[in-house]
Amino acid sequence: MKCNERIKKYHLNHSDLQHNCKLNQHRCSNQCPECKSFCNKLVNHDGYHATNTHRNKENCVFVSNQGKKTVSIFSDGKRREYKIGESCLPENCSSSCGRKGRSHFHLKPCLGGENCQARMNPFVSHSVEKYHPFEDKVFDKWLCYNYWESYGWEAPVTLDLLEEIQSCNFYCSHSTHGDEKKFCEGKAWHDGNHIFHCDHPIILTNIIDVVFCCDTTGSMDAYIDKSIDTILRIIEMINVMGAAECRERSIQFGFVAYRDHPPEDETYVTKYQNMADYMSALAFIQDLEAKGGGDGPEAVLDGLYDSIHKMNWRDKSLRFIFHIADAPPHGIQYTGGGNIDGFPEGCPCQYTIDKIASDLKQYQIKYKLLKIGTFANKMAEIFKSKIEDYELQDLDSALQMDIKVAEMVIRDIRSEEFDVIDQH
């Protein structure tokens, strides 16, 4: 703080006076580690540093553990996109922590060996992921409150939001809850099983089986490619959850590709990769290409039938079929008839949605329709009336798919956004 005493004319200093900043009390000079805002408490104050005016995060950059070149942030109905390694200057501490929500973590460089904080602090988890552009560095994940505490600062959120941030982010996906998120009542990264007070029976399992049933005709190229990102995102989120809960989960993936019946398509009706580890699923998807299709409707019911009956579902597994489609099955009830349907009397396979719905219920499979565009609207309406465990997500583009699918599998509301104090 500069001296405020005036120097007399023709003098170089005020040697007859002591320096005087004209403040009765001085403010703390400590700065926020992320935005460099000064603490607004008095000098030598008790407790943690704090300010109610966190600025933009000039000391941080965006990072990614998925090899992506950009990160997308959704806030107030708008989407912002940043390059990996770009400064977080457009964001501020308070909005960033508020947006990331329950159980979110911050990254700090790991001190290594016996000094790794995950060895001694239950609110720190050692990360095995590599974060671009700092692949040569090793990080630890710190729960939000404890991250700020480690710097001697209060978390930059209100007290009610702080309580939410310190709570578990897992929620029950049972259909009786509708659009409501029935969150676990435990704290973030708690030990043991999740805590719910639901009226329906609770099923606890560490075994998860996921099948993608995907239209692979000419319009679906971007969605086939995005299936790879989706599987990787699910794996990453399960690893994060498992590390936080000290609990391992076994997950397998299957994939059923469908096109159409001859003469509408001469390549194949369905082809599939049975349930296996994620590397097998990725290899199968990488060999797929989107082409053909003939008329408007496709062999949807064939794809769903094979997704149920040709997969080696494991005992006591939590089972999902994610159906990615922009066209309905054959049949006048789905298309209204006309020249757009080569089989207006119904699919040549003779499977019906009643049969599919009955089998889904028998096998206890959760059916999730990822609908693209409006051509499949009637299909969605009919399927909803027939399938007991049904959920619909409209996809405006392939960009949303990995986020929406992973959320439905894990019921994890954590954003894909990561940032870290600049390591350069």
Q: Evaluate if residue 412 carries a pLDDT over 50.
A: no
pLDDT tens for each residue of 204-252: 567 889 899 999 888 788 888 888 778 787 777 766 665 555 556 788 9
Q: What is the per-residue pLDDT for 357?
A: 94
Q: Evaluate if residue 382 carries a pLDDT over 90.
A: yes
Q: What is the per-residue pLDDT for 202?
A: 56
pLDDT, average across residues 37-61: 94
Q: Which residues pair with residue 79 across a beta bridge?
A: 74
Rounded to the nearest 10°, the torsion over CA 394, 400, 401, 406 is -110
Q: Where are the alpha helices (DSSP H) in 316-399?
A: 332-335, 353-362, 377-386
φ/ψ of residue 56, rounded to 5: -70, 150
Task: Give residue for tokens 């390059």.
Answer: 83
pTM: 0.53
Q: Evaluate if residue 423 carries a pLDDT over 80.
A: no
Q: Closest Cα partner for 100 from 156, 181, 140?
A: 156
pLDDT category at 143 given cuts 50, 70, 90 is very high
pLDDT category at 66 given cuts 50, 70, 90 is low
Q: What is the per-residue pLDDT for 413?
A: 25
Q: Closest Cα partner for 181 from 413, 416, 387, 414?
A: 413
Q: Closest Cα partner for 175 from 370, 396, 403, 384?
A: 384
Cβ(169)–Cβ(413) below 8 Å: yes
| pLDDT > 70 in the chain, percent | 81
CA 256/CA 309 separation, integer angstroms: 11
First to last CA, the chain: 30
pLDDT category at 162 given cuts 50, 70, 90 is very high
Mean of the per-residue pLDDT values for the chain?
A: 83
Q: What is the per-residue pLDDT for 207?
A: 82
CA 104/CA 85 separation, integer angstroms: 20
CA 101/CA 346 separation, integer angstroms: 47
pLDDT, average across residues 169-196: 78
- Give exposure, 169-186, as e/b (b: 16+ Cβ within 10 Å): bbbbbbeeeeeeebbbeb
Q: Evaluate if residue 175 carries a pLDDT over 50.
A: yes
pLDDT, average across residues 389-393: 84
Q: Evaluate if residue 63 carries a pLDDT over 70.
A: yes
Q: Which residues pair with residue 82 across a beta bridge?
A: 71
pLDDT, average across residues 114-123: 92
Q: 3-state class of 272 per DSSP? A: strand
Q: What is the per-residue pLDDT for 404?
A: 65
Q: What is the per-residue pLDDT for 415?
A: 33
Q: Which amino acid is at 374?
A: T
Q: What is the per-residue pLDDT for 249?
A: 75
Q: What is the per-residue pLDDT for 296?
A: 80
Which residue segments constitute the domains of the chain, with CATH numbers given?
56-166 (no CATH), 170-196 (no CATH), 205-410 (3.40.50.410)
Q: Closest Cα partner for 107 from 135, 127, 87, 128?
A: 127
Residue 320: count of CB within 10 angstroms of its CB: 22
Q: What is the per-residue pLDDT for 200?
A: 67
Q: At what angle do helices 221-245 and 401-410 cross, to 10 degrees?
A: 40
Q: Evaluate if residue 24 carries a pLDDT over 70.
A: no
Q: Token digits for 216? A: 């692979």
Q: How far is CA 392 from CA 168, 199, 256, 333, 412, in A?
A: 25, 23, 19, 20, 17
Cβ(230)–Cβ(401) below 8 Å: yes
Q: What is the per-residue pLDDT for 219?
A: 74
Q: Which amino acid is at 238?
A: I
Q: Token digits for 319? A: 């089972």
Q: What is the per-residue pLDDT for 370?
A: 86
Q: What is the DSSP letter of 225?
A: H
Please tell me the least confidently modeled range out of 63-77, 283-297, 385-399: 63-77
Q: At what angle do helices 353-362 and 300-309 cross, to 10 degrees?
A: 20
